[in-house]
Amino acid sequence: MSFLFEAGHRGCAGCCDAMVAKFVLMAAGEDCIVISPTGCLEVMTTPYPESSWGVPWIHSLFENAGSVASGVEAGLKALGKFEKTKVIAMGGDGATLDIGMRGISGAFERGHDMTYVCIDNEAYMNTGVQRSGATPFDASTTTSPAGSESFGNPRPKKDMPAIMAAHGSPYIATCSLGYPKDLIKKVKKALEVEGPTYIHAHAPCTTGWGFDTSKTVEIAKLAVQTGLWPLYEMEDGEITSVKKIGKQKKPVEDYLKMQRRFKHLFTKEGGDEELKKIQALADENIVKFGLE
């Protein structure tokens, strides 16, 4: 089977970014232009003179995918070529929540007809697993390491979907690479809806999180099943659908214990208290989004 996102890229075995990119292109089809900021996805897919992209693709910089996408959309419009071609920006959590935030905010405020996909592997993987605004509470990264005085990252994830909703986006969805059908369905919908739409895809990174390369999908599912990563859709600022976890509900330990970045919670004194805090975050989500 041939995909628009070709195999043979240089991602790690079990790479989350590669899977999400493949699913997004399955949803989009041939007639699209993809804009990617700097990050794993860009570096591993375009070693000159090779490319994994079966659709037109452009990389500019780390912090300007939203702005370049604005220009692609405007250029296509001015040249009368916009009608069918979908404009998709696809980048990491660092490029989205941190350094690229202004450009995305500008693009959404101006109302460009495009879809922004954040592939959230919860750290700056391409530069060696440093903390980003999407790194979860207590995760150990190379810039938020656990140590005698630290349990890792001291802050919870920045709520990017809520920020995008505040921009007046007509369609926002969270998804997970553990649920590809749901992801593809949501990307399709985002591309159909006119205006700036946002997809936030949770994407466990085998290298950065420290788990066996065969477990990417399993861990992705656990994030959803524990309530730590709720799956929902927002239309015009209102939550319109939620994926219930019901009987599948799992304690956060099941998810955390499989990953090296949370290892200290199970070995260090006081870890129990921290695990309770993380469970509380999951419980809050369960109530807030009505996941049960």
Partner 1 sequence: MAVIRDLNKDKMDVVEGSYAVAHSVKVCKPNVISAYPITPQTHIVEDLSQFMADGEIPNCEYIMVESEFSALSALVGSAAVGARCYSATTSQGLELMHEILFNVSGMRLPIVMTIANRAVSAPINIWNDQQDSISQRDTGWIQLYAEDLQEASDMTAQAYKIAEDKDVMLPAMVCMDGFILSHVYEPLVLLEQDLVDEYLPPYNPELTLDSKNPMTFGAFADPESYTEFRYLQQKAMNNALAKIEEAASDFQKVFGRYYGGLVDEYETEDAEIILMAMGSVIGTIKDTIDALRAKGVKVGLLKVRSFRPFPVEAIHNVIKNAKVVVAIDKNISLGLNEGALFTETKASLYNTSIDVPVIGRMIGHGGRDIPVSTIEKIVDEAANVMKSGISVESQYADLKEELL
Ligand X SMILES: Cc1ncc(C[n+]2csc(CCOP(=O)(O)OP(=O)(O)O)c2C)c(N)n1
Residues in contact with ligand SF4 by the rule CB under 6 A: 11-12, 15-17, 40, 44, 121, 125, 205-208
Q: What is the DSSP letter of 148?
A: T
Residue 265 C-alpha from the chain's centroid: 24
String of contacts with partner 1 for each residue 40-79, x by CB under 8 A: --xx--xxxx-x-xxxxxxxxx-xx-xxxxxxxxxxxxxx
The reply to whether 38 sits near ligand X by the rule CB under 6 A is: yes
Size of the site for partner 1 (CB under 8 A): 46
127 binds, among ligand SF4, ligand X, partner 1, none (CB under 5 to 8 A by kind): ligand X
Q: Which of 3, 13, 102, 276 binds partner 1 (CB under 8 A)?
A: 102
Of the pair 26, 61, the CB lying nearest partner 1 is at 61
The reply to whether 124 sits near ligand X by the rule CB under 6 A is: yes
Cα–Cα dist 69/90, whole Å: 10
Cα–Cα dist 168/243, whole Å: 23
The reply to whether 15 sits near partner 1 by the rule CB under 8 A is: no
- Minimum CB–partner distance for residue 131 and partner 1 (Å): 23
Segment interacting with ligand X (CB under 6 A) among 34-42, 50-58, 103-111, 273-281: 34-42
- Length of the chain in residues, anyone? 292
Size of the site for ligand X (CB under 6 A): 18
**C-alpha dihedral (221, 225, 227, 232), degrees to nearest 10:** 70
- Minimum CB–partner distance for residue 95 and ligand X (Å): 4
User: Is the distance from CB of 129 to CB of 123 less than 8 angstroms?
Assistant: yes
Compute how many other C-beta atoms are within 10 angstroms of the C-beta atom of residue 95. 31
132 binds, among ligand X, ligand SF4, partner 1, none (CB under 5 to 8 A by kind): ligand X
3-class SS of residue 236: coil
**Residue 1: C-alpha distances to residues 6, 7, 11, 220 (Å):** 10, 10, 20, 25
- Minimum CB–partner distance for residue 160 and ligand X (Å): 12
User: Is the distance from CB of 243 to CB of 231 less than 8 angstroms?
Assistant: yes
**Residue 269: C-alpha distances to residues 40, 231, 254, 258 (Å):** 35, 33, 19, 19
Q: What is the DSSP letter of 155?
A: S
Contact residues: partner 1, CB under 8 A: 30-33, 35, 42-43, 46-49, 51, 53-61, 63-64, 66-81, 85, 102-103, 105-106, 109-110
Contact residues: ligand X, CB under 6 A: 17, 38-41, 62-63, 91-95, 121, 124-127, 132
